Amino acid sequence: MGEIHKEWTAAGVSASRTTTHRRMQDMGFSCRIPCVKPLLNNRKHQKCLAWAKDKKDWTAAEKRGEAHNPRCLRSSVKFPQSVMVWGAMSSAGVGPLCFLRSKVNAAVYQEVFEHFVLPAADQLYGDADFIFQQDLAPAHSAKATSTWFKGAMCNVWQKNQVILHIPYQMGQYASIK
């Protein structure tokens, strides 16, 4: 229909796309937007042709039932299962993976830090100081987490604090001793 509208415009006919569409319908033509289908190669074309020939004698009832036949359905899940994994990496190596069973709130984050980050830091750095970087996710910047860091002897720099020497990027850092 778009090509016909362009030809009419080039020929000097002043008509909108809607008018062109209506005139085409008046002449008995129907305008449809084609469905997007994958391009069939020769092998797939032969397979589809064989399937169609096999089904050519179906009754109307069989054709209706085919759409809901379990062989013809593709299963889908609206909310698929997901896995939350925590991990750490540094110039000294990588820490263990922690598979989390629930959403991360301040309490879960503190537990991960205590049972995974600190032991991994001891293993990777020993007694040496290092900088721990995290983003400002709600669990990371919660008041309970900040209080926990202070109790665990971790100095935390917030994103909005002025720091004379900025290690890496602006973000939230913990200097662990």
Q: What are phi and psi of 107, to 5 degrees?
A: -65, -45
Residue 167's contacts (CB-CB under 8 Å, 6 or more residues apart) are 131, 173
pTM of the full predicted structure?
Answer: 0.47
Residue 53's contacts (CB-CB under 8 Å, 6 or more residues apart) are none
Tokens encoding 27: 């002449």
Q: Does residue 138 surpass a pLDDT of 70? A: yes
3-state secondary structure of 89: strand
Task: Work out the average pLDDT over 157-175.
Answer: 47
Q: What is the pLDDT of residue 175?
A: 46
pLDDT tens digits for range 67-112: 666 666 666 777 777 888 888 888 888 888 889 888 899 999 999 8
